[in-house]
Structure 1
Amino acid sequence: MRSVEEHLSVILARLRPLPPFEQHLLDAHGHFLAEDITAERDLPAFDNSAMDGYAVRLVDVLGASEQNPVILSVEQELPAGIAPSETEVEPGTCARIMTGAPVPPGADAIVPVEWTDAGAVGDGSVRVSRAPGIGQHIRTVGEDVRADQVVLTAGTYLGSRQIGLLAAIGRDLVAVRPAPRVVVLSTGAELVEPGAEAAPGQIHDSNSYTLATAAKETGAEVYRVGMVPDDGKALLDAIEDQLIRADLVITSGGVSMGAYEVVKETLSRLGTVEFVKVAMQPGMPQGFGVIGPDETPIFTLPGNPVSAFVSFEIFVKPALRALQGLGPHEDETQTAVAAESFDSPEGRRQFLRGRLVRSTDNGEHAVTRVGLASGSGSHLMGGLAHADCLIVVPEQVTRVEQGEQISILKLESV
């Protein structure tokens, strides 16, 4: 029986990041960078005004107040978008300036228009009733970003703020990893679509919906195929039909030890998919390998809904991140205080549905198990829907006491 770490290492060893491609900024949104981004010039590229007002020599307005204003001659008009002025601000003069306009030579501060009484003493002059500090309201060259500075590193998620930075430094094309294309299908003669009437002995297919949306939350482009009957040829035909648009395939069901385990029986014959037991609960039966001429990775997950979801979180999510050139998510594994005592079987790592309920006196979160009213079986979805984490109990631990620190795996998207 493999440990969780051993099985995950086998999976990750078979995966390679998808090749990057260049995208324009709006199309790159929601992807991960495949390159470091270096600024080609300073940002701002020139000293400019942060306010509408007047560019002044500080020495000319020192001591200005409401009772003792300073009157300056306005010699220049500087709107935004013009080239830097070559006309120096002379003693006793100033330049009217708009936000974003280049600061003229000789000026070392900006007086906001609110600190003036423009036009009160006649055309061409301004009354200054308050003095700024040295350099005040001037955005200096390179104060945000310096030329040759690495502003974003490979692996960065490109959200709105990152796209804004790229635009600000003048980049219109960036290399990103494509979203992995994931095909999800369920197997089982007992399955019917949600919305259809379930006959005696049938159940509604929840796995393909759970896994498809979980893959979407991890940044994948998902194709849900739906149910495949318990027939080996039909299974292979369905998978082969989808390989043209798949970077990764997920099936659920048909991998345990009983009869009619069509996925296991059919894919085992290919010699490229391995079926093993992993020392975890839920999710002990696992299958992983490659299929088709391009050796597309395929995960064959257990059929019980909670087992399938936990298996996705532990094995498939890291695989999807690896395809995008990413390592483990830094914030997923945390610790919390057990809100109650409970037992755990020895020899298997337990992944229990949990919910963070409150903070303790020292600032730590407490976690409680959910869904206990109906039990903890791997077919019970009610508790899972209300969980916001998985409580992780190591293989050697058989008892968790109330107040004890315990690891949790937060259930979050990208």
Structure 2
Amino acid sequence: MAWFTRKKQDDGVAAVEAPVEEEPRLPEPPQLDASGLRSVADHLAYLQSLVEPLRPFGMSLLEAWDQVMCEDIDSMINVPPNSTAKIAGYAVRAADLVDDEGHLAPPLEIVDLDVERLPVGGAATVAPGDVLPRGATAVLPATFGTVEDGRVRLIERVSDGEYVRAAGEHLRFGTRLLSEGDVLDDRGIGLLASAGIDKVMVRPRPRVVVVSSGEHLVEPGPSVQHGEVSDANSYMVAAAAKAAGATVFRVAVHSNEPDAIREAITDQLIRADLVISTTGGRREDYEAVVDVMSELGLVDSVNVAMSPGRTQTFGLIGEDRVPMLMLPGNPVSAYVSFHAFARPLIRALMGVRAEHRPVRAIAAQGMRSHRGQLHLLRGRVTMEGSIRHVTQVSEPYALAELAGANALIVLDEHSEVVNAGEAVKVWLLDEDE
């Protein structure tokens, strides 16, 4: 916001100085605790306050699969759209089947099924599924009458609606099908298509660009030279972002030179709703990205009360203030940080529930944590009947440990010891488990 000031001029005439604009900056961040740490909940809430859901637009049904509805959808037609015969017989007016005294009426004249409207005293031969002519109110089973000289002599009668699948019986015009906030799945697509809907208003998939940088990182391959490290983090994070529902692009710099990093990031801003930066674990690689982020936008760097993943950096980058998240270089820290912060941001951009929904599991062994920090352990959840059990996964090789886990065990800031047999909270990494 511009501000103005006055000062005394040499000639004694007061003049208004040119307006001075304040430098743009991020909103005031949450307070730190006594240890100089920001809580995980405060940090996530702060990041989410800086990101808004993407604007919705109309898409065809197949393009909109697994995306968030931004409107209420009502049926535009009746399903079925016409009344049809359930069995073989004759489309009739039920009122024509009895005379004024309540006896069976005289034989009905057989007319063509494609007649514009069933005449009084008429009957049209129908097969199962045939559309009834207008005016017909029931189907007379073939066994309820005999045909003589082009007429149906009645043996039994039926009432209005008998042996008829009425128009709108399954779905009536104006029935609510899906509501704003629902995620459009395959069954929903079938339902909408059956109701005459071909396009819907949804939020698009967030475009996430994973930018990998690091002087000693190389592309995965059979030959890794001395001093080089295969770039696993960016592939893992890109796959995790895709699993979270994003459209993902991966870009590798393989350098920690500021110019190269700056070019890689700025080139991607035009197609990014979120940028995620990964490195190979060297501190200088991480700091090189943070320095470039500070040049390009507004940056928040903080130590979070979380293990692993203590160091976190976030920024709004470029003229359009594209959100950018810098993940720690250690593979476990990067992956845990993704689920704690990046995944919620992706989901927030989609306009759906952001955080993991924790579930309860029984600990198979004792576990320890540090009071005042959120501890996220790698775990393997199994089912015994309807009860979940979780075992901590511990491997010397970090990526093998992650590969063996299907959950993160959540030990909150108040936990120090969990004994075997006690319940703990877990985030399921495979949502269908």
Task: Give the TM-score normalised by structure 1.
Answer: 0.81
Q: Would the aligned equivalents of 1:38 and 1:151 in 2 still touch at CA under 8 Å?
A: yes
Identify the residue that residue 409 of structure 2 maps to in structure 1: 391
Give the counterpart letter for 1:6 in structure 2.
D
Per-residue CA deviation, residues 117-176 of structure 1 (Å, 9 max, x unaligned), is: 999x88968999999998565333333333333211123222332222222222222212
Q: Would the aligned equivalents of 1:44 and 1:142 in 2 still touch at CA under 8 Å?
A: yes
Give the counterpart letter for 2:125 in structure 1.
A
1:108 aligns with 2:138: yes
Q: Identify which of 169, 172, 177 aligns with 1:146.
A: 172
Q: How far apart are residue 21 of structure 1 and its match?
A: 1.6
Q: Would the aligned equivalents of 1:247 and 1:297 in 2 still touch at CA under 8 Å?
A: yes
Q: Identify which of 87, 92, 97 aligns with 2:119.
A: 87
Q: Would the aligned equivalents of 1:49 and 1:99 in 2 still touch at CA under 8 Å?
A: yes
Q: How far apart are residue 273 of structure 1 and its match?
A: 1.6
Alignment partners' CA distance in 2, 1:390 and 1:176: 31
Give the counterpart letter for 2:362 in structure 1.
V
Alignment partners' CA distance in 1, 2:53 and 2:175: 26
1:13 aligns with 2:75: no
Aligned-pair identity (%): 39
Q: Identify if the C-alpha distance between structure 1 residues 36 and 106 changes in structure 2 by more than 3 Å, giving closer, same or farther.
A: closer
Q: Would the aligned equivalents of 1:334 and 1:407 in 2 still touch at CA under 8 Å?
A: yes
Q: Identify which of 72, 75, 83 aligns with 1:36.
A: 72
> More deviation in 183-192 or 38-47?
38-47
Alignment partners' CA distance in 1, 2:135 and 2:199: 35
Alignment partners' CA distance in 2, 1:352 and 1:129: 77
Identify the residue that residue 355 of structure 1 maps to in structure 2: 380
1:209 aligns with 2:235: yes
Q: Would the aligned equivalents of 1:255 and 1:301 in 2 still touch at CA under 8 Å?
A: no
Q: Would the aligned equivalents of 1:185 and 1:228 in 2 still touch at CA under 8 Å?
A: no
Q: Identify if the C-alpha distance between structure 1 residues 209 and 128 changes in structure 2 by more than 3 Å, giving closer, same or farther.
A: farther
Give the counterpart letter for 1:8 in structure 2.
L
1:340 aligns with 2:372: no
Q: How far apart are residue 365 of structure 1 and its match?
A: 1.4
Task: Give the TM-score normalised by structure 2.
Answer: 0.78
State how many pairs are aligned: 389
Q: How does 1:40-59 map to 2 (within 5 A)?
A: 40-51=76-87, 54-55=90-91
Q: Identify which of 243, 249, 270 aligns with 2:269.
A: 243
Structure 1: runs of 5 or more not aligned: 62-71
Alignment partners' CA distance in 2, 1:409 and 1:31: 22
Q: Identify which of 261, 264, 285 aligns with 2:311.
A: 285
Per-residue CA deviation, residues 275-303 of structure 1 (Å, 9 max, x unaligned), is: 11111122111111210111111010011
Identify the residue that residue 68 of structure 1 maps to in structure 2: none
Per-residue CA deviation, residues 45-97 of structure 1 (Å, 9 max, x unaligned), is: 44333455554678999xxxxxxxxxx9782554xxx687433576xx66323
> How much is the aligned-residue C-alpha RMSD, in angstroms?
3.5
